Amino acid sequence: MDELCAISQADPVAFRLQHLKNSRVIGVLKAAAEAVIGRHALHRGRTSLGRQTVSGRGIACVAYEGDNGYAALVAEVDVDLQNRNGPAEALRNCVDCGPISNPDGLRNQTEGASCRA
């Protein structure tokens, strides 16, 4: 999906919203995007002058267990251009958990998506 957005120079949130029909996954995607909107567009990176790093964001959304729950995640990263790696600086997730059959599983999913690597 991100490759299609990059090729077409499309905003990744708008592109996904244009192709989604399920109101619950649309809801978590919009909530995740709104958590970071206002600072920078999701598809634009920035290069720090005098440093060999590039900063950017990525977004993803998913349906869990037969469309029973939905999640969206925004990752903000700083990548070192020399060694082409870098940790996620911030992760934001939004969840529409649906009916909860396993509270521990829900906790693991939501906390696991929010942990820094």
pTM (2 decimals)?
A: 0.72
Does residue 49 lie within any of the structural domains?
A: no
Higher-scoring residue by pLDDT: 8, 86: 8
* 51 falls within a domain: no
Number of domains in the chain: 1
Is 29 within the bounds of a domain?
A: yes
Please report, in angstroms and rounded to a whole number, the separation of the first and last CA atoms in the chain. 23
Residue 38 has pLDDT above 60, yes or no: no
110 sits in which H/E element: helix 103-114
Range of the domain at 24: 2-44+60-74+93-114
Distance CA 117, CA 113 (A): 10
Task: Note whether residue 55 is domain-resident.
Answer: no
Q: Do residues 74 and 42 touch, judged by C-beta distance below 8 A?
A: yes
Nearest to 33 by CA among 96, 75, 68, 77: 75
Identify the band that residue 41 occupies on the pLDDT scale cut at 50, 70 and 90. very low
> Residue 82: inside a domain, yes or no?
no
Q: Tell me: the pLDDT tens digits for 62-95? A: 887 666 788 898 888 888 888 777 777 777 888 8
